[in-house]
């Protein structure tokens, strides 16, 4: 089931970090090579918590979307205003939960949820060589919009696509919003 979180205090941060475990391990090696692996991961997690607290959840209309099943987080993504729609960021499925359709279910349900809120488009930036993510986005109706990606901080990457999906506000979705 899709759950929409509007505040950091609503999220089980430990469960969220399990979804992002693989990426956190990679980021720890890249960002903190001088630290032992476990300390690097803890630092990446602390940085992420600070980003959510001080940046992400302070933006109007920013939400975290999580696919939950059997009381556990299976996949997650962030949504926040971008251009004339919402930007999908950090779409991730927990490593041991991949290839079960959770990422696709999350992305499709988040798109339906956004449409019911009056948003007209969803955007997403995906590495050009990330075949699995591109396939999930295509299956959910995203198409290549630009051959590069301009991020919310203004940086531009030419190794990523900007994908776009028009939304239909008459769509319905089963979701649980935490206010």
**Residue 171 pLDDT level (bands cut at 50, 70, 90):** very low
Domains of the chain: 2-178 (3.40.630.30)
Q: What is the DSSP letter of 101?
A: S
Residue 143 corresponds to which tokens in the numbers above? 């198409």
DSSP strand pairing (121-127 vs 85-93): parallel
Q: Which of 97, 117, 111 is nearest to 164 (CA)?
A: 111
Residues 7-49 have pLDDT tens digits of 999 999 999 999 999 999 999 999 999 999 999 999 999 999 9
Rounded to whole angstroms, how far apart are CA atoms 65 and 175? 10
**Per-residue DSSP letters for 22-34?**
HHHHHHHHHH-TT
User: If you count them, how many residues does the chain have?
Assistant: 179
| Per-residue pLDDT at 153 | 82
Rounded to whole angstroms, how far apart are CA atoms 137 and 56? 23
| Per-residue pLDDT at 172 | 41
Residue 59 corresponds to which tokens in the numbers above? 């933006």
- Residue 101: Cβ within 10 Å count: 16
Element containing residue 82 per DSSP (H, E): strand 72-82
Half-sphere exposure in the Cβ direction for 90 (13 Å, CA): 22
* Tokens 């007209």 -> residue: 120
Torsion-angle region of residue 96: left (phi > 0), alpha (psi -120 to 50) or beta? alpha
**Per-residue DSSP letters for 88-116?**
EEEEEE-GGGTTSSHHHHHHHHHHHHHHH
| Per-residue pLDDT at 151 | 85
**What pTM did the predictor assign?**
0.90
**Residue 51 pLDDT level (bands cut at 50, 70, 90):** very high
* Tokens 């991949």 -> residue: 98
Residues 52-91 have pLDDT tens digits of 999 999 999 999 999 999 999 999 999 999 989 999 999 9
**Residue 173 pLDDT level (bands cut at 50, 70, 90):** very low
- Decide if pLDDT at 170 tops 80: no
């Amino acid at each position: 089931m899709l759950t929409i979180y509007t505040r950091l205090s609503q999220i089980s941060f430990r469960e969220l970090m399990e979804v992002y475990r693989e990426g956190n391990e990679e980021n720890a090696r890249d960002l903190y090579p001088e630290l032992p692996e476990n300390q690097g991961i803890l630092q990446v997690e602390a940085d992420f918590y600070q980003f959510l607290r001080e940046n992400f959840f302070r933006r109007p209309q920013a939400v975290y979307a999580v696919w939950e099943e059997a009381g556990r987080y299976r996949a997650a993504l962030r949504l926040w205003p971008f251009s004339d729609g919402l930007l999908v960021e950090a779409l991730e499925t927990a490593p041991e939960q991949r290839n079960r359709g959770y990422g696709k279910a999350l992305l499709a349900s988040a798109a339906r949820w956004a449409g019911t809120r009056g948003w007209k488009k969803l955007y997403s930036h995906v590495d050009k060589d990330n075949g699995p993510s591109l396939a999930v986005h295509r299956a959910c109706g995203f198409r290549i919009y630009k051959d590069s990606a301009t991020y919310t901080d203004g940086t531009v990457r030419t190794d990523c696509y900007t994908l776009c999906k028009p939304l239909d506000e008459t769509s319905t979705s089963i979701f649980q919003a935490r206010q």
